[in-house]
Amino acid sequence: MSNPVDAFSESKVAILYQAQQPPVKDGIIKPMKTGGYADSGADIAYALLQEEIHVVTPVSSPNPRNDLDWVFPDTEIGILNALAKGATVLWLNTVLYACHPIEKFADQNLFVVGQIPENVEKYDDKIVTNHLLKQNGLPVPDSVIITIDNRDQVIVPFSFPVVAKPIRGRGSQGVSVLHNWHTLTETLNLLFEEGQYGTALYLEEFLPGQEVTITVMPPGKYFDKGQEIEYPGYWSLPAVKRFNHESGIAPYNGTVAVTNNSIVLTEEELQTKKIQTLYLQCEKAAALVEAKAPIRIDCRADKNGQYFLFDLNMKPNMTGVARAHRQDQDSLSALAARKIGWEFTDLLINMLNQRWSL
């Protein structure tokens, strides 16, 4: 077949990054990531440019070491700036929500790479998402919601250790394993006093078994080793195992590069019935949330080896090895893609091929 890049000959791609915190929703706060994903946005833009895809940037000669030379803020002004420079595809490498500025441009002839904004807001809420998954027969850990008002009266229906986490979190930031009532009370009081995550927190049973992460891709046409392949349904990249946990939790990737604590499962492990079943469960979850771009689902086994889906991430981090000074920055999704023979650029080109009309 012809060069896959030919499919984008008319496309001019601009990458958006998060320039503002999402609105508070029912007292729940989703904190911004430092830099607002400008780092992964710059990785994406730089990698696409190396493939001779037309990338629109804020400056005419972007410096590979300066993230903000490559990405536009996800504000109305930022989007207008990208459009004024000729962008026809906006890559939504940002946290979306209902009434995000991108929705103001729905009447224009634009394509986007990313999720439906209102769906991201809905399914960023762990309560809503895990209830949806459980309703549809998917395994999720037992949980309870603790609010700033009920923290002294709430009954925890499972034994210690327990995991406390933000309801609208990001990766393992703000997540901790607690082994008794004293440390639980201390942690809750501290988190509520700081107010970083809002007026409620999510408490779930701790799963002591192996942790894996699965990236689920949306249906569509993909380029693979010179062939065009159509996937009629959601499909999974190979499972990535997490290791070197800190106090029972995989460290936040803003602190420890995932390449230092993550590896794709072996061929033998990938073919086990448990992992193959987990793929089907994650693909069902992706369909339930109507994913339009890759999502990442973190899963962990209990003491009996049964896997549970404990965190569905509508906006997986998409850093990758492209720029010279970031050679250890493959994301979990990029690691998984390499297992099927895709370089970071192959993953991005296939994501771009799933662009959809805003």
Query: What are 45-87's pLDDT values in tens digits?
Result: 999 999 999 999 999 999 999 999 999 999 999 999 999 999 9
pLDDT at 354 over 90: yes
Q: Does the domain formed by 4-114 have CATH 3.40.50?
A: yes
Q: Where does the pLDDT of residue 251 fall: very low under 50, low under 70, confident under 90, or very high at 90 and above?
A: low
Q: What is the mean pLDDT of the chain?
A: 93
Q: Where does the pLDDT of residue 153 fall: very low under 50, low under 70, confident under 90, or very high at 90 and above?
A: confident
Question: What local confidence, expressed as pLDDT, does residue 5 receive?
Answer: 81
DSSP SS3 for 336: helix
Strand partners, 330: none
Question: What local confidence, expressed as pLDDT, does residue 7 receive?
Answer: 83
Which pairs from 227-232 meet CB under 8 Å and 24+ separation?
A: 227/1, 228/1
Please list the residue range(s) of the chain that carry CATH number 3.30.470. 211-340
Q: Which residue has the higher pLDDT, 5 or 349?
A: 349
- Are 312 and 297 within 8 A, CB to CB? yes
- Are 160 and 179 within 8 A, CB to CB? yes
Q: Which residue has the higher pLDDT, 10 or 244?
A: 10
Tell me the average pLDDT across 148-172: 88
Two tokens, residue 171 = 């990766």
Please list the residue range(s) of the chain that carry CATH number 3.40.50. 4-114
Q: Does the domain formed by 142-205 have CATH 3.30.1490.20?
A: yes
DSSP SS3 for 358: coil
| Residue range 206-218, pLDDT digits in tens | 999 999 999 999 9
Q: How far is CA 171 from the centre of its chain?
A: 8
Alpha carbons 342 and 59: distance in angstroms, whole number = 30
Please list the residue range(s) of the chain that carry CATH number 3.30.1490.20. 142-205
Q: Does the domain formed by 211-340 have CATH 3.30.470?
A: yes
Q: Where does the pLDDT of residue 1 fall: very low under 50, low under 70, confident under 90, or very high at 90 and above?
A: very low
Nearest alpha carbon to residue 192 among 203, 184, 201, 180: 201
Question: Around Cβ 3, how many Cβ atoms within 10 Å?
Answer: 12
Task: Report the range of poorest mean pLDDT among 83-87, 102-106, 225-229.
Answer: 225-229
Two tokens, residue 21 = 């915190």
Question: What local confidence, expressed as pLDDT, does residue 2 receive?
Answer: 54
- Tell if the pTM clears 0.85, that is, is over it: yes
| Residue range 171-199, pLDDT digits in tens | 778 899 999 999 999 999 999 998 889 99
Q: How many residues are present in the chain?
A: 358
Output the DSSP codes for 217-273: EPSEEEEETTEEEEESS-EEPPPEEE-S-BTTBPPPTTTS-GGGTEEEPPHHHHTSH
Residue type, 172: S
